[in-house]
Amino acid sequence: MTREEIVRKVKELNFSKGSYIVFGSCPLAAVGIREANDIDLLVSEELFEKLKETGWKERVKSTHDNPLVFDVFEAHSNWNFSPYSPTLTHLLSSAMIIDSVPFASLEEVRKWKAASGGPKHLTDVKLIDTYLQNNH
């Protein structure tokens, strides 16, 4: 998905400001590094419970990773399944706001992907580093 697709889909959810941030690989798509396959969201506990009540389905991915899924979305109430687990408040404090949608900063995404360490994540770390060197 491109930035435009992500922004459109997230806006359609009509979540209140401060209750979520777009995380995962979507911030890379937001700046044009590469497209994203799904939309990862870190949401407040309150929003997480509301999503459960409105039919989003729990998906057990691992012991500490049980997001709610709907369409192309994966909503997490915490990021505790990773060695780097920032809070929603922390990510919002440095968010990139694109067309009124909050995306986690590339620096934060880089920290998470570097800590996670899988081949896909390390490829993204290199892409982020190149982008930041060329655009800052």
pLDDT tens digit sequence for 41-74: 999 999 999 999 999 999 988 777 899 999 999 9
Contact (CB, 8 A) for 119 and 125: no
Query: pLDDT per position in the chain (136 positions), as tens?
Result: 999 999 999 999 999 999 999 999 999 999 999 999 999 999 999 999 999 999 999 998 877 789 999 999 999 998 887 888 899 999 999 999 999 999 999 999 999 999 988 899 999 999 999 999 999 7
* Dihedral angle of Cα 14, 15, 17, 23, to the nearest 10 degrees: -110
Structure tokens given for 13: 């959810």
Q: How many CB atoms lie within 10 A of CB 61?
A: 12
Task: Find residue 68's DSSP bridge partners.
Answer: 58, 75
What the block records as the tokens of 2 is 């491109």
Boundaries of every domain in the chain: 3-135
The pTM (predicted TM-score) of the whole model is 0.94
**Length, in residues, of the chain:** 136
| CATH architecture under which domain 3-135 falls | 2-Layer Sandwich (3.30)
Cα-based torsion angle of the residue sequence 68, 73, 76, 81 in order, rounded to the nearest 10 degrees: 100
Instruction: Give the model's pLDDT for residue 99.
Output: 96
